[in-house]
Chain A
Amino acid sequence: QVQLVESGGGVVQPGGSLRLSCAASGFTFSSYGMHWVRQAPGKGLEWVAFIRNDGSDKYYADSVKGRFTISRDDSKNTLDLQMNSLRPDDTAVYFCARDNPVCAHWGQGTLVTVSS
């Protein structure tokens, strides 16, 4: 069955960097686009980024454009999110999700806290 496991969350100071990873199994990873979606504590869902199955296209929310970078390693079945210049309003649980259709399968998320 499809399994997505996020890791890399933690506490980071404002202006700092963090790299999240999502380990995928149970499906042919290279055949699917992948998303990152986040949820601030007690708030709604915010779509963050998408990468096509072949890595040819990447899209970002305006709130993270220029600061976050989505990437994938099909040899390791992993999806990454490099987060730079972090701000307190980036504090959230970050979920990875498999595309097709839309965000069809989700991991359980990893918590990122940006605080001094």
Chain B
Amino acid sequence: TVMTQSPATLSVSPGERVTLSCRASQSVRNNLAWYQQKPGQAPRLLIYEASARATGIPDRFSGSGSGTEFTLTISSLQSEDFAVYFCQHNEGWPWSFGQGTKVEIK
């Protein structure tokens, strides 16, 4: 299953609402996770099962979708949210990641 994220880069201002997209080449049901990665750091799990927030993740992060179309929304972008975001499916083996969306300061 190929995961495709869009856009590749998003330039936004703090406080703005941000929507990231992830598309699967075939249905992954709700078996979709989102990760955040900052430079020089390991990824951090944000969302699993398409819409469940991982432990300690602020509620400004939300996930939605099922089947082949998924969205990660950040309701009001904070300075610490500038990072790269990856989606990943876990519907059958092998798992795969999208290529990432970089959220940068406008």
**Across-interface contacts of A109 in B (CB, < 8 A):** 42
Closest residue of B by beta carbon distance from A105? B45
Choose from A47, A104, A106 the contact partner of B96 (Cβ within 8 Å).
Answer: A47
Stretch at the interface among A23-31, A57-65, A69-77, A80-88: A57-65
Q: Is B97 in contact with A44, judged by CB distance below 8 angstroms? A: yes
Closest residue of A by beta carbon distance from B55? A104
Q: Is A59 in contact with B93, judged by CB distance below 8 angstroms? A: yes
How many A residues face the partner with a CB closer than 8 A? 20
**Across-interface contacts of B90 in A (CB, < 8 A):** 102
Q: Please, how many angstroms separate the alpha-carbon atoms of A101 and B45 in the complex?
A: 9
What is the minimal beta-carbon distance from A21 to any residue of chain B, in angstroms? 17
Closest residue of A by beta carbon distance from B37? A45
Q: Is B52 in contact with A101, judged by CB distance below 8 angstroms? A: yes
Q: Is A102 in contact with B48, judged by CB distance below 8 angstroms? A: yes
Chain B's interface size range is: 20 to 34
**Across-interface contacts of B100 in A (CB, < 8 A):** 44-45
Q: Please, how many angstroms separate the alpha-carbon atoms of A77 and B88 in the complex?
A: 26
**Across-interface contacts of A101 in B (CB, < 8 A):** 33, 45, 48-49, 52, 54
What is the minimal beta-carbon distance from A97 to any residue of chain B, in angstroms? 8
Best-surrounded residue of B37, B52, B93 (most CB of chain A within 10 A): B93
What is the minimal beta-carbon distance from B7 to any residue of chain A, in angstroms? 14
What is the minimal beta-carbon distance from A83 to any residue of chain B, in angstroms? 17
Q: Is A102 in contact with B45, judged by CB distance below 8 angstroms? A: yes
Q: Is B45 in contact with A45, judged by CB distance below 8 angstroms? A: no
User: Given A101-B52, A104-B45, A107-B42: A45 and B95 within 8 A (CB)?
Assistant: no
Choose from B33, B52, B96 the contact partner of A103 (Cβ within 8 Å).
Answer: B33
Rank and list the top 4 A-B pairs by shortest CB-CB distance, nearest first: A106-B42, A59-B93, A101-B48, A47-B95
